[in-house]
Chains A and B, each alone.
Chain A
Amino acid sequence: AQRVTQPEKLLSVFKGAPVELKCNYSYSGSPELFWYVQYSRQRLQLLLRHISRESIKGFTADLNKGETSFHLKKPFAQEEDSAMYYCALRSPGGYNKLIFGAGTRLAVHP
């Protein structure tokens, strides 16, 4: 069965520190993975997708098929990065169905 695991409910760092939000997935096929973010009092929105290999707001994520991971990284955290981050896996069948992880709350302290 497809599954997304985010092992940390909360990640607390100081401004300027590196950040790594962990995401592991379970999927037998070729995965398509995404990171969605929800800032305080805002709606859930797409941050980045693995096939684009892009950097958004300084965040990057690399798909590691050997470790079945898609960790989100940023070298220097900013206070405005504080948010809820969800890793998501595209599910087969249907139309762009997503399976979400339970999310990690990132708190960046001054």
Chain B
Amino acid sequence: DAMVIQNPRYQVTQFGKPVTLSCSQTLNHNVMYWYQQKSSQAPKLLFHYYDKDFNNEADTPDNFQSRRPNTSFCFLDIRSPGLGDTAMYLCASSPGDETQYFGPGTRLLVL
């Protein structure tokens, strides 16, 4: 089935140790998104790509970076994770209309 895949599903890292989360989609969608969702809070958009056009949200910390080497893959890099970055990270894709298709999420724990 065409879908959005995230790896790993669970990630534990140490304070300050860089971590990369991966997302891929087989839907051939132009747009890919990364959200951060902390416990009992709304998913919060970090950034999104339209093809290779990168769009950063104004309040996304510099610590968060992203790469999209091709249509299918998008990575979230956290350069120096802090304890406050413990969260669920959701990836989504869209053909550019109203619907976003979400992956299962990566639960990140920073110790």
| Chain A contacts to B: CB under 8 angstroms | 4, 9, 32, 34, 43-46, 49, 51, 86, 90, 94-103
Bound together, the chains give a CA A31 to CA B101 distance in angstroms of: 21
Give chain A residues whose Cβ lies under 8 Å from the Cβ of B45. Answer: 97-99
Bound together, the chains give a CA A101 to CA B43 distance in angstroms of: 8
Q: Which of B33, B41, B98, B102 neighbours the largest number of chain A CB atoms within 10 Å of its CB?
A: B98
Contact: B90 with A44, CB < 8 Å? yes
Give chain B residues whose Cβ lies under 8 Å from the Cβ of A9. Answer: 40
| Chain B contacts to A: CB under 8 angstroms | 4, 30-31, 33, 40-45, 48, 50, 55, 90, 92, 94, 96-105
Bound together, the chains give a CA A90 to CA B31 distance in angstroms of: 15
Give chain A residues whose Cβ lies under 8 Å from the Cβ of B104. Answer: 43
Contacts known (A95-B48, A95-B55); A45 close to B98, Cβ less than 8 A: no
Q: Give the Cβ gap from A35 to chain B, nearest Cβ, in Å.
A: 12
